[in-house]
Amino acid sequence: MKTHTAPFYMALQPNLALRQIIATLLLLATLSGHASNKPPAKAHKAVSHKAAAHKASTRGPVYGKTKEATALADELAQQYKLPQTWVREQISKAQHLKGVPKMVLPPTVPTAKNWRAYRERFIESRRIDAGTQFWQTYESALTRAEQTYGVPAEMIVGIIGVETFYGQNMGNYRVLDALTTLTLNFPAAHPRAAERQAFFKSELGHFLAQAHSQGNASATGSFAGAMGWPQFMPSSVAKFAVDFDGDGRIDLRNSPVDAIGSVANYFKAFGWQTGMPTHYPVGFDEARLDKPTLLAPDILPSFSVSNFTAKGAVLDEQAQKHAGPLALVELFNGDEPPSYVAGTENFYVVTRYNWSSYYALAVIELGQAIKVNRALSSIQSNAR
């Protein structure tokens, strides 16, 4: 729907028109095809927000000066060049969070993936309204981030909206407790226990290095140790976080401006290409379709436009002009037929924030919905 039709609708019923136009645009986006194929597995953070209602009653005793805690402290102190006595003190004060190890285990009964249900959790009016307010409040920082890193404001707004509902859900677990628990008590039943335990040990080391530098080890975050408005893991804080508000320190929990710059820097570091779409609609020519080959590379863009279409994918005029590689991304809809999009290299960049194309598409569509809402709100204001 063209925006030049908006004043006519708004002259009749402004609030209703706004919702109807956004709903229509989002419905069209859904029908054009959406895709993904892997369940969530975090890149910058360990796992998604689940079981947020776990209470402090899951807390056990402090680790104290046990042999295991002392050995861990000495190893991290040496590896991260930290004072041994200080690290021993921090680890000894960390509390065992009894419920956390269970929260990182895969579900015992896998549920069918459903893009439409997943989408409804994030593309909804309360989050769109909150995102519109966030954009208005931090418009200058978002504009500066776009100019500095080449990442569109709607992508940054989409990330922060999906991650923490614009700062409303940043987590209340002490990061020191969570990461120590997942290092010393990682569940052996996990199919990749050794790998994941090593990951959390590394994150604990990064966190201790940052806590020592800042003089504060009491930071809170998710049960997996992700922190602040953008839910960065400590290693991502070390690599990608920036002091975007210019106050001489990086604070992702109390400075939304630092969060804005850090998300943009993250995208840029993973190869975001300014001006490139994230995805295109895709259809199929069943007579030529070689879907197994198209799906084989997963979400990694691997096909030129000519190879993509030669294997039975049908693209619109804009997509046919795309210069880079494409991926056929598949998104399951429960018992209904899957949806598909042609993902670009920028779509793949979004999945580096969270290794799930369901997540990536939710971020993209939330940002787009907020951009539309913001534009229509501006038209409404000007029409009064």
Specify the higher pLDDT residue, 325 or 52.
325
pLDDT digits (tens, 9 = 90+) for 55-72: 444 778 999 999 999 999
Each residue's pLDDT tens digit, 108-155: 887 889 999 999 999 999 999 999 999 999 999 999 999 999 999 999
220-221 vs 95-97, strand pairing mode: unpaired
d(C-alpha 55, C-alpha 234), whole Å: 23
Where does the pLDDT of residue 177 fall: very low under 50, low under 70, confident under 90, or very high at 90 and above?
A: very high
SS3 100: helix
Phi, psi dihedrals of residue 38, rounded to the nearest 5°: -105, 145
Of 251, 256, 22, 280, which is closest to residue 129 (Cα–Cα)?
A: 22
With 0-12 CB in 10 A as exposed, 13-18 as middle and 19+ as buried, what is 143? exposed
Q: Which residue has the higher pLDDT, 169 or 36?
A: 169
One-letter amino acid for residue 311 of the chain:
K
Q: Provide the H-helix boundaries in the chain.
A: 6-12, 14-31, 67-79, 84-93, 100-103, 115-122, 125-137, 139-149, 153-164, 175-184, 193-214, 234-240, 256-269, 291-295, 305-310, 317-320, 345-351, 357-383
Q: Which of 15-24, 31-40, 77-86 has the lowest mean pLDDT?
A: 31-40
| 303-328 residues labelled b (16+ CB within 10 A) or e (exposed) | bebeebbebbbbbeeebeebeebbbb
Comparing C-alpha atoms, which of 258, 203, 196, 252 is closest to residue 225? Answer: 203
Residue 222's alpha-carbon distances to 173, 186, 286, in angstroms, are 6, 16, 45
Model pTM score: 0.86
Bridge partners of 313, per DSSP, are 284
pLDDT at position 382:
75
More confident residue, 281 or 9: 281
Residue 44's pLDDT is: 54
* pLDDT in the model for residue 159: 98
pLDDT of 315 above 60: yes
Per-residue pLDDT tens over the stretch 225-283? 999 999 999 999 999 999 999 999 999 999 999 999 999 999 999 999 999 999 999 99
**Residues 30-39: what's their mean pLDDT?**
37
Task: For residue 32, count CB atoms less than 10 angstroms from its CB and return exposed for 0-12, middle for 13-18, buried for 19 or more.
Answer: middle
> Number of C-alpha atoms within 13 angstroms, CB side, residue 121?
15
Per the model's pLDDT, the better-predicted residue between 30 and 238 turns out to be 238
Letter string b/e over residues 70-92, b meaning 16 or more CB atoms within 10 A of that residue's CB: bebbeebbeebebeeeebbebbb
Query: CB atoms < 10 A from the CB of 364, how many?
Result: 25
For residues 25 and 372, the answer to whether their CB atoms sit within 8 Å is yes
Give bridge partners of residue 328 from the DSSP assignment: 342
- Asked if the model's pLDDT at residue 17 lies above 60, the reply is no
Q: Quick one: pLDDT at residue 111?
A: 84
Catalytic positions: 163
CA distance 135 to 273: 22
Q: What is the pLDDT of residues 202-218, one digit of tens each?
A: 999 999 999 999 999 99
Amino acid at 3: T
SS3 343: strand
Least Cα distance to 262 among 140, 160, 182, 368 occurs for: 160
Measured distance CA(347)–CA(21) in Å, rounded: 25
* Calpha distance 239→74 (Å, rounded): 24
Helix or strand (DSSP H, E) at 5: none
Residue 21's pLDDT band, with cuts at 50, 70 and 90, is: very low
Q: What band does 381 get if pLDDT is binned at 50, 70 and 90?
A: confident
For residues 360 and 37, the answer to whether their CB atoms sit within 8 Å is no
Q: At residue 180, does pLDDT exceed 90?
A: yes
